[in-house]
Amino acid sequence: MIPSSISNYYKWHAPIYDFTRWSFLFGRSSLMHHFPLLADNASILDLGCGTGAITEVLCYSYPESEIIGLDASSHMLERAKSRNLQNVSWIHQPYQSNSFDNGQFDLITASYSLTMMNDIEQVLHAIKMHLKPDGKLVVVDFDSTPFPQFSKWMKRNRVNFDVQLFNKLEKGFAATSIQTQSAFGGLYSYSTFVGSK
């Protein structure tokens, strides 16, 4: 089932998403520098692809690959589809363990989507299952904030700082690199994680 809160939220935010998110979803424009070398015909999942900004970069970075953009919001996916990307298929569904076959992907990317997902342990378990044995995971997302009021406000915007995503990633995956940076003078930090299962 599609989480209705996400669908409703992005019904209103999808039209302004690409014009506004550059101002606080940092680390996305440099994410490609963390993409691994992959063989031609690699299989790639962009998890919570939204309007397809990262999917498009994947497309140009891996022109011979099969790329899937999955998202729970039809409004975000409509915008992603309008990019007319060649080697991409789009899936409208909430990510779950039966979304794909085990060992299907050489690379899974998740840009600012994991902190919006419920049951993060199950989601990380599913990612592990869906990666090939030597598959790679590249994540950029909100990391932490010292300000409880900011955390509370972000929760209203469906972002959950409490899940401690990067601690869980470090525990669940073999990290190749983790880079953490501060935003807006320490209001929050965001991190980029590269790892494998």
Binding site for ligand SAM (CB under 6 A): 6, 10, 28, 48-50, 53-54, 70-73, 76, 94-95, 111-113, 116-117
Q: In the complex with ligand SAM, which residue's Cβ is closer, 42 or 123?
A: 123
Q: Which helix (H) or strand (E) holds 150?
A: helix 148-156
- Phi, psi (5° rounding) for residue 27? 90, -10
Q: In the complex with ligand SAM, which residue's Cβ is closer, 14 or 40?
A: 14
- Residue 54 CB, nearest approach to ligand SAM (Å): 5
- The span from the CA of 195 to the CA of 197, in Å, is 7
- Residue 3 CB, nearest approach to ligand SAM (Å): 6
- Residue 136 CB, nearest approach to ligand SAM (Å): 17
CA dihedral for 115, 1, 13, 20, sign (positive or negative): positive
Q: In the complex with ligand SAM, which residue's Cβ is closer, 6 or 108?
A: 6
CB 127 within 8 A of CB 103: no
Q: In the complex with ligand SAM, which residue's Cβ is closer, 94 or 135?
A: 94
Residue 25 amino acid letter = L
